[in-house]
A and B are shown apart, each in its own frame.
Chain A
Amino acid sequence: MSIAPILRTVRVKAPPARAFELFATRMADWWPRGRTIGRKPHVEIVVEPRAEGRWFERDAEGNETQWGKVLAWEPPSRLLLAWQINTQWHYDPSLLTEVELTFAAAEDGGTLVTLEHRRLERFGTDAVSHSDKLRGGWPTHLDDFARFADSVS
């Protein structure tokens, strides 16, 4: 473990089984708009309910854009997903970072939903052009980096 994982917990009113269901089977209904990677707006985000199932979005014309896959499907308490979206917001099957969701019963009958995104050191490919897109330019020392990277590869 090189980089500490991202950890975040939210409390929802529904019990664990319902929270798991809403999270995994209604993803398109809650995932923030504009934060998907398909070329056209998504109408569905599918998490296939089994280990090795696919995780993808689908647009109105039926085009699918892969996000990753299911590593563990264990309702009502745990969902382990492979996040295979690189820093350029493209699906990259050679990249595998892990997003683990746990659903724990809270005292008030609700659920504590905890997300852990780990193996972050595996990110990296194509980050250069991503940054270009973000800021419309590239700092000088990163030009230096690009030249250096080309010269050693």
Chain B
Amino acid sequence: MANTVRAIEGFAALADPTRRTIFERLSERPAAVGELARGLPVSRPAVSQHLRVLKEAGLVTEVAAGTRRIYRLDPRGIGAMRDWLDAHWATALDAFREFADREFDGAQPEKRKRK
């Protein structure tokens, strides 16, 4: 459940297009606020705010580099988002396999008898 909530925080954080852009840039390489603000139609303080939201959602983490703070993706938060969907597809595909094998066996009674 904790992971589910974590995953949804991630989805919520990425609902905002500017945050999605920031997130995508950080997926290319770690960056400081100044670098991220360049080329974005928002102010540097706004970028900092977006980074804070991404950080709280567990998607981004920061490290100090001298006087600057470098932001990078946090693989733990991203993992939670994927886990949420992963569990969904695990259930669905297992159900498909059971159904498909039952159908296949049912269509081949002769072959099954010989085994």
B114 in contact (CB, < 8 A): no
B36 in contact (CB, < 8 A): no
**Cα separation A144 to B97 with both chains bound (whole Å):** 44
B35 in contact (CB, < 8 A): no
Given contacts A117-B89, A121-B24, contact A134 B97 (CB under 8 A): no
Q: How far is the CB of B75 from chain A (nearest CB, A)?
A: 9
Question: Are A120 and B85 touching (Cβ within 8 A)?
Answer: yes
A113 in contact (CB, < 8 A): yes
Question: Are B23 and A121 touching (Cβ within 8 A)?
Answer: yes
Given contacts A124-B14, A127-B8, A139-B5, contact A10 B99 (CB under 8 A): no
Q: Which one of B11, B24, B81, B99 contacts A30 once the chains associate, using CB atoms below 8 Å?
A: B99
B15 in contact (CB, < 8 A): yes
Q: How far is the CB of B8 from chain A (nearest CB, A)?
A: 4
Q: Which one of B27, B49, B81, B100 contacts A22 once the chains associate, using CB atoms below 8 Å?
A: B100
Q: Which residues of A contact B104 (CB under 8 A)?
A: 12-14, 18
Q: How far is the CB of A126 from chain B (nearest CB, A)?
A: 8
**Cα separation A6 to B83 with both chains bound (whole Å):** 9
Question: Are A30 and B96 touching (Cβ within 8 A)?
Answer: yes
Most-contacted residue by chain B among A12, A29, A135 (CB, 10 A): A12
Question: Are A141 and B56 touching (Cβ within 8 A)?
Answer: yes
Question: Are A6 and B95 touching (Cβ within 8 A)?
Answer: no
A50 in contact (CB, < 8 A): no
Restricting to A83-133, which residues have a CB under 8 Å from any CB of B?
87, 113, 115, 117, 120-121, 123-128, 130-131
Question: Are B88 and A35 touching (Cβ within 8 A)?
Answer: yes
Restricting to B1-26, which residues have a CB under 8 Å from any CB of A?
1, 4-5, 8-9, 11-16, 20, 23-24
A60 in contact (CB, < 8 A): no
Given contacts A6-B86, A117-B89, contact A123 B9 (CB under 8 A): no
Question: Are A134 and B11 touching (Cβ within 8 A)?
Answer: no
Given contacts A26-B99, A127-B11, A142-B9, contact A120 B82 (CB under 8 A): yes
Smallest CB gap from A130: residue in B = B8
Question: Are A127 and B15 touching (Cβ within 8 A)?
Answer: yes
B110 in contact (CB, < 8 A): no
